[in-house]
Amino acid sequence: MSKPTVELTESEWSVIKAVWETEPCTAPVIQEKLFKPTGWHYSTVRTLMDRMVTKGVLKAKKEGKLTIYQSVVTRAQAQSGELFYALKHAFNGALTPMVQCLLENNDLDAAELAKLEALIKAKKSAKK
């Protein structure tokens, strides 16, 4: 299994989702978007975004007095990081118990199960 590319905190997830929807963007735009659900003020959002730049999740470019932010990671990379974090911490890296937990705790319809079976078949074929 490959190493996760990124692990985000709950707060960082809120920011990155807002950035994905509006990028390129500024901290005031993200603060306005997140104020109602979070109550965060500008300084909180700016601090989070600057930390995410340091972490390599966002990039920042100065344009006059404004700082323009863009994502560095894709949604798929962030989701992968989250999944591997759960696998590592909740399941001690064991994939089978994690998949078993997901299968037992989700009401999957026949179409979803067929997609999963097709993914497993494709992976087996690629290994041959």
Q: Determine the pLDDT at residue 106.
A: 87
**Average of pLDDT values for 6-35?**
96
The mean pLDDT value of the chain amounts to: 92
Global pTM reads 0.79
CA distance linking residue 97 with residue 89, whole number of Å: 13
**Average of pLDDT values for 107-122?**
92
Q: Determine the pLDDT at residue 5.
A: 62
- pLDDT tens by residue, 45-57: 999 999 999 999 9
- pLDDT tens by residue, 91-106: 999 999 999 998 898 8
Residue 73 backbone zone (phi > 0: left; psi -120 to 50: alpha; other: beta): beta
Rounded (5°) CA angle 110-114-117: 140
